[in-house]
Amino acid sequence: MSKGTDSTSSDSARDLLRHMVATLAYRGHKALRDAPASFAGFRAYETTRTPTQILAHVNDLLDWVLSQAKGKEEWHGSPPLPWDEEVKRFSASLKALDDYLASGAPLAVPAEKLFQGAIADAFTHVGQISLLRRMAGSPVRAENYSKAEIVAGRVDNQQASPRREFD
């Protein structure tokens, strides 16, 4: 994979990055879907973040990686919005990032660097949300994600139905 900016980056690295964003969307929306209202404020321990706080951080990460891709890096630690608004923001942030990646506009940072920072961190936090769902008594069913229908560009909450779930 490339070590420079998008002018030397391969289309395959960019395509893979878009697939990673679509995978984050698939896994993230699965973790968020059908969460009970009480889940938003659930705390595993008194000093841990709530699911709403974690999701707000994921959304900040997505906004940050988009700013990096555009060459205007900015970090904004946003105060959490109500749960439903953060879920909508998740879709909107994923769409903004994917739209930029799909546009062919230059990447100011190599695709590999975009993934290893904010996107990889976002996957970690989606996993935390899934774990908290189980702890809160509303588990997300396990799935063989290698069988999932994940398509670059499909980043909203209208994801394909799981193909192979299990308990």
CATH number of the domain at 79, please.
1.20.120.450
Question: Would residue 69 count as lying in a domain?
Answer: yes
Predicted local confidence at residue 10, as pLDDT? 61
Angle between helices 11-32 and 120-135 (to 10 degrees): 20
Question: Would residue 166 count as lying in a domain?
Answer: no
> 83 with 52: CB under 8 angstroms?
yes
Predicted local confidence at residue 4, as pLDDT? 42
Question: Would residue 158 count as lying in a domain?
Answer: no
Predicted local confidence at residue 127, as pLDDT? 98
For residue 131, the enclosing domain spans 11-153
Question: Would residue 2 count as lying in a domain?
Answer: no
Residue 44 to residue 153: CA distance in whole angstroms: 34
Question: Would residue 162 count as lying in a domain?
Answer: no
Which pTM was predicted? 0.91
Predicted local confidence at residue 167, as pLDDT? 78
Question: Would residue 1 count as lying in a domain?
Answer: no
Q: Where are the alpha helices (DSSP H) in the chain?
A: 11-32, 51-69, 83-103, 111-114, 120-135
Question: Would residue 3 count as lying in a domain?
Answer: no
Per-residue tens of pLDDT for the chain, all 167 residues: 434 444 434 689 999 999 999 999 999 999 999 999 999 999 999 999 999 999 999 999 999 999 999 999 999 999 999 999 999 999 999 999 999 999 999 999 999 999 999 999 999 999 999 999 999 999 999 999 999 999 999 999 898 888 888 87
Question: Would residue 163 count as lying in a domain?
Answer: no
Measured on CA atoms in the order 115, 116, 122, 124, is the torsion positive or negative?
positive
Number of domains within the chain: 1
Element (H, E) at 166: strand 165-166
